[in-house]
Chain A
Amino acid sequence: MATTKKKKAAPKTKKAASKELTAEEIRHADEREVGVGRAGDIPRENLMDWYRQMVLIRKFEQSCSEQYQLGKIGGFLHLYIGQEAIAVGSIAARGANDHVITAYRDHGHALAVGSETGPVMAELMGKVTGVSGGRGGSMHLCDVPRRFWGGYAVVGGHVPLGAGIALAEQYKGTDGAVLCYMGDGSTNIGYFHESLNLAKVWNLPVVWIVENNQYGMGTAVDRASATPEMVTKASGYDMEAHVVDGMSVCDVYWKTTDALKRVRAGEGPQFLEMITYRFEGHSMGDPLRYRSKEEVVKWRDDDPIGVIERRLIEQENCTQEELDAIDDQVEVEMAAAVKFADESPEPGLDTLYDHIFVEN
């Protein structure tokens, strides 16, 4: 498990880089860009909150792993460790009417929209107090009041749903847009191509966010995709596309903010490829035969929590004590979440037929 207390000696961070890095440059960057050009514009309290959210997601996932090993979580369990900056930075950029929908690696998105840790953990344990009443499980979290339309377990299946949710906003004439997240692997399924095409033809208010974590299960991107650069896929649909440093919460925030601005200016659907890495296996019990230890170690140097931590310490006069206090508070919250889930009842067997139809 990655730890959040990564102390690198004399970290150096480049400031105010104005040019946009390519995906390849981001993958091989020695120094993590923080904020790419506009880092200084973000208030310290926001940075602190993003740090807290990322640590919360990290600890939540570590706790899931433990609960899984204890046999309290069943089915498939996909951890978001390594990708925290993406959900946190992009959801921080969303406006009051914007929506979120994603695939099955969805714990980070749920927590970033503000779903409480207790009901999310309860869902993973199949409890009636879970966000989906124990009917969904890890891959099917939702929080409709917070405009989070769920995690979806069929690769690509939610992508046209995202287009449809955007269509409804456009139809109703609101300024709402959709952040539709997906993995690199999903860019190879027909749903992806049909949905991008439709979104462009109808000028739908949607930002497609590809979380390129370098693998779909055990298949490296360049072994599955005709082009390893996800952004180039957008050009086939005449869509503006940018590469984002998915390890930098600030870069994620700004690029998403800009994309949403363009959507609201009527410029149509936008595409962001966020370069990141899945630190753990695809799901629990992944033998990890498809990548080297060295590769994982290299990426762990770019731990998104380490990046924001360095930024806070170097540029915001943040002390280690302040960060530790946040970590401790998160630990307390997680312990309470697990306790809540543990103590919650399972759904009654007499509820099997509930919610098949709205009108029975």
Chain B
Amino acid sequence: MRQALSDALREEMLRDENVFIMGEEIGVWGGTYAVTRGFYDEFGERRVRDTPISEMAIGGAAAGAAMNGLRPVAEFMTINFAFVAFDAIINHAAKVHYMFNGNIKCPVVFRAPGGGGRQLGATHSHTPDVIFAHFPGLRVVSPATPYDAKGMLKSAIRSDDPVMFIEHATLYQERGEVPEEEYLVPLDKSDKKRDGSDVTIVTYAQGLPVSMEAADKLSKEGIEVEIIDLRSLQPLDLSLALESFKKTNKAVVVEEGHGTYGIGAEIVAQIQEHAFDYLDAPIKRVAQKQAPLPYARELEQSALINPDRVVAAVKEVL
């Protein structure tokens, strides 16, 4: 997926002179996660802008440049540091279009790698996606496959809206088919990633490989799950999830973030609102346990989602 993101950025920079990238260590260093390796030499320091360690200024200046006609792709070294820029993202980038009655556009992309499971401790392991998705005005997407990553990043850069583009760092290693020719993936459409008839799993990002592995295990026992990848959290497209649920009548929601007030909570609420008559069993949520992520390997893993927890949840709803 790393290569897919890198290709998307490079292609868009070659296509549109107004696209540039900025962030900490993205240039000379080559990007903390190496997504922008080689960009500094290829595009130079005008378009590949190393910034000071100033998240408030990164968020705000990228938004300002976008308002005045550019298409900045600003990278937060990790999403944990985007907390420092929360006001710039939520109160400014996501509000100017509405607050000024459509007179100002803010086509900025904030890229932010995140997620737990790498023994980085409580401050560096957040999956806070839902917090960003709470507010109208900001598109929030998080791809799970290289194909989606490339197509969605290109769409995000071309979008006239501000986009929070969340990359789960574990997925950088994910491999998958990416076509040679140019393609785009829409920013507001969910996608069916596996067909099945017994239980619907609704998930996204790191939840997808976890759910896929669970699905393989369940399949060996004769249980077939259907997997819907949300891809976008704001706006939220539940059309495929509802369609699938009306067929299976059972669902499990899998997300890496904390479960309390999480994405699962929203999805369960919407399913019961829109498909109450189809409900055969309480919908289960599999999510990060409600504790800060600890450093110790096994302890950290015990708090995160994994295929076994998904398998157990599916069996409970059956």
List which A153-169 residues lie within 8 A (CB) of chain B.
Answer: 154, 157-169
Contact between chains at A359 and B57 (CB < 8 Å): no
B64-72, B114-122, B208-216, B267-275: which one contacts chain A?
B64-72
Which A-B residue pairs are the 10 nearest by beta carbons?
A: A164-B64, A160-B60, A133-B101, A168-B68, A194-B57, A161-B64, A358-B160, A194-B54, A164-B61, A164-B65
Q: How many residues on the B side are at the interface (Cβ–Cβ under 8 A)?
A: 45
The yes or no answer to A354 lying at the interface (CB within 8 A) is yes
Complex alpha-carbon distance, A201 and B97, angstroms? 29
The yes or no answer to B91 lying at the interface (CB within 8 A) is yes
Query: Please, which residue of chain B has its CB at the minimum distance from the CB of A168?
Result: B68
The yes or no answer to B252 lying at the interface (CB within 8 A) is no
Contact between chains at B52 and A194 (CB < 8 Å): yes
B217 to chain A, nearest CB (A): 40
Contact between chains at A135 and B99 (CB < 8 Å): yes
Interfacial chain A residues near B99, Cβ < 8 Å = 132, 135-136, 140
Question: Which of B18, B66, B68 interacts with A169 by CB under 8 Å?
Answer: B68
**Which of the four size classes fits the interface of chain A?**
35 or more
List which B241-256 residues lie within 8 A (CB) of chain A.
Answer: none
Question: Which of B18, B54, B68, B91 interacts with A154 by CB under 8 Å?
Answer: B91
Complex alpha-carbon distance, A171 and B70, angstroms? 9
Task: From known contacts A144-B103, A194-B57, A356-B136, infer whether A167 and B98 are also in contact, taking CB-CB under 8 Å.
Answer: no
How would residues 337 to 360 of chain A score, 1 for a CB under 8 Å from any chain B CB and 0 otherwise? 000000000000000001111110
* Apart from A157-B88, A163-B57, A168-B69: 15 A-B pairs, beta carbons within 8 A: A132-B100, A136-B99, A142-B100, A142-B104, A154-B87, A157-B60, A160-B56, A164-B64, A164-B66, A169-B68, A171-B46, A194-B57, A197-B52, A357-B97, A359-B159
Interfacial chain A residues near B67, Cβ < 8 Å = 149, 161, 164-165, 168
The yes or no answer to B222 lying at the interface (CB within 8 A) is no
Complex alpha-carbon distance, A359 and B57, angstroms? 27
Complex alpha-carbon distance, A142 and B98, angstroms? 12
The yes or no answer to B102 lying at the interface (CB within 8 A) is yes
Contact between chains at B62 and A359 (CB < 8 Å): no
The yes or no answer to B284 lying at the interface (CB within 8 A) is no
Interfacial chain A residues near B137, Cβ < 8 Å = 356-357
Contact between chains at A354 and B102 (CB < 8 Å): yes
Query: Please, which residue of chain B has its CB at the minimum distance from the CB of A154?
Result: B91
B253 to chain A, nearest CB (A): 25
The yes or no answer to A278 lying at the interface (CB within 8 A) is no
How would residues 41 to 69 of chain B score, 1 for a CB under 8 Å from any chain A CB and 0 otherwise? 00000100101101111011111111111
Contact between chains at B104 and A144 (CB < 8 Å): yes
List which A9-57 residues lie within 8 A (CB) of chain B.
Answer: none
Task: From known contacts A194-B57, A356-B97, A358-B160, infer whether A165 and B102 are also in contact, taking CB-CB under 8 Å.
Answer: no
Query: Please, which residue of chain A has its CB at the minimum distance from the CB of B46?
Result: A171
Question: Which of A135, A172, A190, A358 interacts with B100 by CB under 8 Å?
Answer: A135
The yes or no answer to B111 lying at the interface (CB within 8 A) is no
Contact between chains at A171 and B51 (CB < 8 Å): no
